[in-house]
Structure 1
Amino acid sequence: MTGMLTRWRPLAGFGLAALVLFGLAPAVLSDFRLNLLGKFLCFAIVAVGIGLAWGRGGMLTLGQGVFFGLGAYMMAMHLKIADAELKGNDVPDFMQIAGIGELPGYWTPFTSPFVTILAILVVPALVAFVLGLGVFKRRVKGAYFAILSQALAAAFAILLVGQQSIGGSNGLNRFRTFFGFNLNDPANKRMLFFIAAGVLLLVVALTRQLMYSRYGELLVAVRDQEERVRFLGYDPANIKVVAYVVAAFFAGIAGALFVPIVGIISPADVGIVPSIAFLIGVAIGGRATLLGPVLGAIGVAWAQSTLSENFPSGWIYAQGLLFIVVVGFFPAGVAGLIELIRRRKPRADAPRDETPDALPELEVAR
């Protein structure tokens, strides 16, 4: 009976999440709040990948904004081309203002919806694969890897600012259609929310399979005892690269969904600050758990949106304080704190004078 409950518990959890996202949220939230929640779901997709790479693999990824930005800008380029074609123009509107009369060569592939989707799925993962091999094969880890990934995010944002052919510091905005659907139609905006919700559930399901597979065990082993894993005949670099690529793959998809939902992408959305914001949500939710990064990312983003409406200048300080408190006193995050309380609670069928010899340690990334 216990085994059956254990087997069906994940399916029940996914069913409950689907009911909340596809039934309850559209019923109780206004169109504006539902669209805002769709934006937060994009952040949650990024957070799931960070939870896998950082929480399970011990890789402090401070540069996820790069992969998020790659997916976002590729989607934005296609949407701007599609809008220009509807008006009968050769180039998007911002290029006309800037005096660019011909579509740049690197924009041309994104005239095709198929090529755009394929690039969104492949390019961020391919970039992460190349970077991961170069970094992990040289045994770069810890603070050095974190600094390197953060520098990469800063360089990417600076590069975008200097490129007027992709909007410069203003970025790309004012999208009117999404693969032929009018973005001003509330029904289509709801469709985007449902797409984001479905992608999030798929991402969580895939990550769960990875976590509880043989590979997931190896990833945790590399995090805790990398030299022992190498002694057993495995290459820790290859194991790390897979997690890094999966996290980049998720971030690229999230960026592509972010663009039509929010309606803008700029260098400010892909630099150091957004990359750290992704990390804060994961840390607060619980980086070593499956659902902790999701709930943390949504909760922090929702709090930022709500509190910044009333305290515009105070939220950033509250966010920093919350991050310090969690990292300093609750390293397992909110999910780890809940698990600790649950394990401390005595079982109803246990004798009153029975006390456990030792409390099982929470699985926390070191």
Structure 2
Amino acid sequence: MNSGGRNILGLALVAVVGLSFMGLTPRLVELDTVLDLTVYMIMAILALSLALIWGYGGILCFGQSAFFGLGAYTYAIAMFNIGESTVPLLLAIILPAAFAALLGYFMFYGRISDVYLGVITLTVTLILFNSINSTAGPEFHIGSARLGGFNGIPGIPPLNFPGNKSAAIDLEGMFYIATASLLATYFGLRLLLASRFGRVIVGIRENERRAELLGYDPRAYKLATFTIGGALAGFAGCLFANWGNFVSPTIFGLAQSAQIIIWVIVGGRGTLIGPILGCIGIQWLNAALGANQPSGGSDWWSKIFANAPLILGIILVAFVLLVPKGLVPTLADLGQSLVRLRRRREKRGFEPQQAE
């Protein structure tokens, strides 16, 4: 089977698995499990936003949580002032995209090198964290929405059906929206990367100077990629604010920024399915370690689970050192090696028969 056939088969498999998961999960598991799976789907969209920017665009961004947090806060503030979710949802996508476009313009057209891109995006995230964290007083408000400082903004109204604010979407509906959004994001990015634009940004990632000599403007393509990634992260932030009905400055924190990068590294750069699997797997592992942590006891098992974050960190470091390409590329390489080995064996078994 050629590469085109494998791609079509892979897309069909993802579609079947995704639609089956979306349709069957609420009928087979408890509501609290559906709630956990919903946030996994939301965070997977966030992982895809960095997968596009870093994995395909070659732009190492430590500030993806900045766009994520802007989307969440924009939705919360707009929702308290407007009351109907259609405009807040659009604003939660447009504002982070505009902020990414403005920040990206100064970085890319200023010819900032890759290392300093990471430093600048990380600095912007820390500035937003400290700024929002210092708005605890009653004087800090935008319209009727109080920012709340380190206490965050609680009681955020949920999404509603467009134009009908009395028809709020419940928790099960949020699962359907999050899963459908993840599938739409995945297939949308696959379509984008298969287009001329996608081939150009990958070419720029591989050799920016050569792409420039061929007549392309790397700055414009990088800016467009960065803006699309910011919009996706803002959309994920909007869904996250709906999931928890709460948002706080920790959404801009260093832990959140590092987590997104780890998802992409573990799943595999240069893929889309890899960051999804890395995101869901690490979140599940983190939740499992926390859920199984005993409340007391002096046995060795209690001592192990008392250091669950340390265990998770060791697992992640070992994974990155042993599987530097990431999970999906490593499995793909292993599969290709097995296929080549099988073909060699078949060829060796065929040659003596021909000689006879």
Q: Do both share a fold (TM > 0.5)?
A: yes
Partner of 1:220: 202
Q: Which amino acid aligns with 1:171?
A: G
- 1:176–1:182 Cα contact (<8 Å) kept: no
Structure 1 counterpart of 2:20:
20
CA distance in 1, matches of 2:92, 2:178: 15
User: SS of the residue aligned with 1:345?
Assistant: helix
Once structures 1 and 2 are overlaid, which stretch shifts more, 171-180 or 28-37? 171-180
Q: Report the counterpart of residue 154 of structure 2 in structure 1.
A: 173
For the Cα contact (< 8 Å) 1:71–1:254, is it kept in 2? yes
CA distance in 1 between counterparts of 2:323 and 2:158 reads: 44
Cα distance change, pair 326–231 in 1 and its aligned pair in 2 (3 A)? farther
CA offset digits 1:246-282 (Å, max 9, x no partner): 1111111101011121221100122221111111111
Number of equivalent positions: 324
User: Does the CA contact (< 8 Å) of 2:268 and 2:325 recur in 1?
Assistant: yes
Contact kept? 1:67, 1:252, Cα under 8 Å: yes
- Unpaired segments ≥5 residues, structure 1: 82-107, 356-366
* Aligned equivalent of 2:277: 295
CA RMSD of aligned residues (A): 2.4
Q: Is the 8 A contact 2:267 2:326 kept in 1?
A: yes
Q: 1:3 to 1:288 in 2, by over 3 A?
A: closer
Deviation at 1:231, TM superposition (A): 1.5
| Conserved? CA contact 1:56–1:219, under 8 Å | yes
- Residue 195 of structure 1 corresponds to which residue in structure 2? 177
> 1:62 is matched with which residue?
62
TM-score (norm 2): 0.84
Q: Deviations over 1:142-188 (max 9, x none)?
A: 221111111111111111111233111011113455434687xxx81
Task: Identify if the C-alpha distance between structure 1 residues 231 and 117 changes in structure 2 by more than 3 Å, giving closer, same or farther.
Answer: same
Q: Please say if residues 226 and 236 of structure 1, whose CA atoms lie closer than 8 Å, have aligned partners that are also in contact.
A: yes
Asked whether 1:259 is paired with 2:241, we answer: yes
Cα contact 1:45–1:251 (8 A) shared by 2: yes
Q: Identify which of 280, 283, 287 aligns with 2:262.
A: 280
TM-score (norm 1): 0.81
Report if the CA contact (8 A) 2:75-2:91 is conserved.
no
Alignment partner of 1:270 is 2:256: no
Q: For 2:255 and 2:62, how far apart are their aligned partners in 1?
A: 9
Aligned to 1:210: 192
Shift of 1:348: 8.3
- Does residue 24 of structure 2 align to residue 42 of structure 1? no
Q: Do the aligned residues in 2 keep the contact of 1:153 with 1:270 (CA within 8 Å)? A: yes
Q: Once the 2 structures are TM-superposed, how far is the Cα of residue 228 of structure 1 from its aligned partner?
A: 1.2
3-state SS of 1:222 partner? helix
CA distance in structure 2 between the partners assigned to 1:318 and 1:213 by the alignment: 42
Deviation string for 1:84-125 (max 9, x for gaps)?
xxxxxxxxxxxxxxxxxxxxxxxx5x4554432221121111
- CA deviation map 1:61-88 (0-9, x unaligned): 1111111111111222244x2xxxxxxx
How far apart are 1:130 and its partner, in Å? 0.8
| Structure 1 residue 13: Cα displacement | 2.2
Give the % identical residues. Answer: 29
Separation of aligned partners in 2, 1:236 and 1:4: 28
Which residue in 1 is equivalent to 2:339?
346
Q: Which has the higher contact order (CA 8 A, sep 6+)?
A: 1
Distance 1:215 1:319, change over 3 A: farther
Cα distance in 1 for residues equivalent to 2:329 and 2:209? 27
Deviations 1:19-61, CA, capped at 9 Å, x for gaps? 3332232233210111111111111001111111111122111
